[in-house]
Amino acid sequence: MTEFLMIIRDIILPIFIVMAIGFVLQKKFKMDISTLSKLNIYFVVPAFIFVKLYSTEFSIGILGTVVSFFITYIILLYLISVITAKLLGLDKGKKTTFSNSILFFNSGNYGVPVNDLVFKSDPFAMSIQVIVLTLQNIFTFSYGIFSLQSVHAGKWKAMLGYFKMPVLYAMLAGMVLNAINISIPSFIWVPANYIADAMIALALLTLGAQVARIQFKSGLSSVYSSIIVRLMIGPILALFIIWVFRLDGITAQALFIASVMPTSVNSVVIAEEYKNHPEFAAQAVLFSTVISAFTVSMVIYLSNLLF
């Protein structure tokens, strides 16, 4: 119990303090969330991904492992979400948003700070989280758009727009330059590190501000079901995949912890864009983020015992 409380104090509480600051600032000053989001997507996240992947020693093998884990995890989660939605009797539109609330998890502005604190800025552990973050972004803005607007005339334009975003290219550049061992000039490397260092604080501030703007209505049975699958069944599935793949050590710990992150705010963004039950998506984000304080702490505690 003492170790569990220490995890809450030393890992979860610092994260929620910065989120709370973002929440209060949003309530007081009504900050432009769109601008904050763009700063994350186009400024700090690409630099963070590039710096971490370039400066970390990892093999193609670990990339393959993380990709294989991610694909298997998403497929199993999708099957469970579809079955659960059918049992709940949700209509077609809400089924999609329900599934998205489970499949899209906050591996960026929540997962990265947790990884950083749990593994004490270990570059190898962070590289695993960065790969998960990049895969999650690619998945969200490809499948996410298709799932809500599969017959929409502009779906290809929307998907192609993602490939104009710098996150994917930051990942590729970091990995390629790392692999061929090219030295980066200091006039590029120094500012890249300055920007990367701002990522965690800005990401948590933005998450707090986004949560402050969420509005929700009554009718929470489907929200509770989403939270149970995302925060409880999700880690159990991850543990099963880790066992099947025979993973251990930091790799197993990092992937296990990554699996318990709460619902991503991007699920709300996409639901709002296509007017498909955005109020449900908002409730899922809010409640899963709050409850994750306990579930993330529990998974971190278990990861120390199991691996």
- Predicted confidence at residue 142, as pLDDT, reads 67
- Domain map (residue ranges) of the chain: 2-306
Chain-wide mean pLDDT for the chain? 84
- Predicted confidence at residue 24, as pLDDT, reads 95
CATH for 2-306 (2.60.40.10, 3.30.70.260, 3.30.230.10, 1.20.1530.20)? 1.20.1530.20
Distance of CA 186 to the CA centre of its chain: 31
CA dihedral sign of residues 169, 178, 201, 204: positive
- Summarised one tens digit per residue, pLDDT across range 2-21 is 777 888 888 888 888 988 99
- Summarised one tens digit per residue, pLDDT across range 182-223 is 899 999 999 999 999 998 888 788 878 878 877 666 557 888
Q: Report CA Rg, the chain.
A: 19
**DSSP track, the chain:** -HHHHHHIIIIIHHHHHHHHHHHHHHHHH---HHHHHHHIIIIIHHHHHHHHHHHS---HHHHHHHHHHHHHHHHHHHHHHHHHHHHHT--HHHHHHHHHHHH-B-TTTTHHHHHHHHTTT-HHHHHHHHHHHHHHHHHHTTHHHHHH-TT-TTHHHHHHHHTTSHHHHHHHHHHHHHHTTPPPPHHHHHHHHHHHHTHHHHHHHHHHHHHHT----S--HHHHHHHHIIIIIHHHHHHHHHHHTT--HHHHHHHHHHTT--B-THHHHHHHHTTSSHHHHHHHHHHHHHHHHHHHHHHHHHHHHH-
Region of 275 (left: φ > 0; alpha: ψ -120 to 50; beta: rest) is: left
Residue type, 145: I
- Summarised one tens digit per residue, pLDDT across range 19-44 is 899 999 999 999 887 788 788 778 88
- 226 or 150, higher pLDDT: 226
Quick one: average pLDDT of 243-255? 95
Residue 202 token pair? 């800005």
- Predicted confidence at residue 213, as pLDDT, reads 78
**pTM higher than the cut 0.85:** no
- Predicted confidence at residue 110, as pLDDT, reads 87
Query: 70-74, 98-102, 273-277: which has the minimum mean pLDDT?
Result: 273-277
- Summarised one tens digit per residue, pLDDT across range 78-125 is 999 999 999 988 887 788 888 988 999 988 878 988 998 899 889 889
Quick one: average pLDDT of 61-70? 92
- Predicted confidence at residue 152, as pLDDT, reads 46
- Summarised one tens digit per residue, pLDDT across range 131-155 is 898 888 778 766 766 665 553 445 5
Range of 43-47, 174-178, 299-303 with top mean pLDDT: 299-303
Angstrom distance (rounded) from CA 168 to CA 94: 30
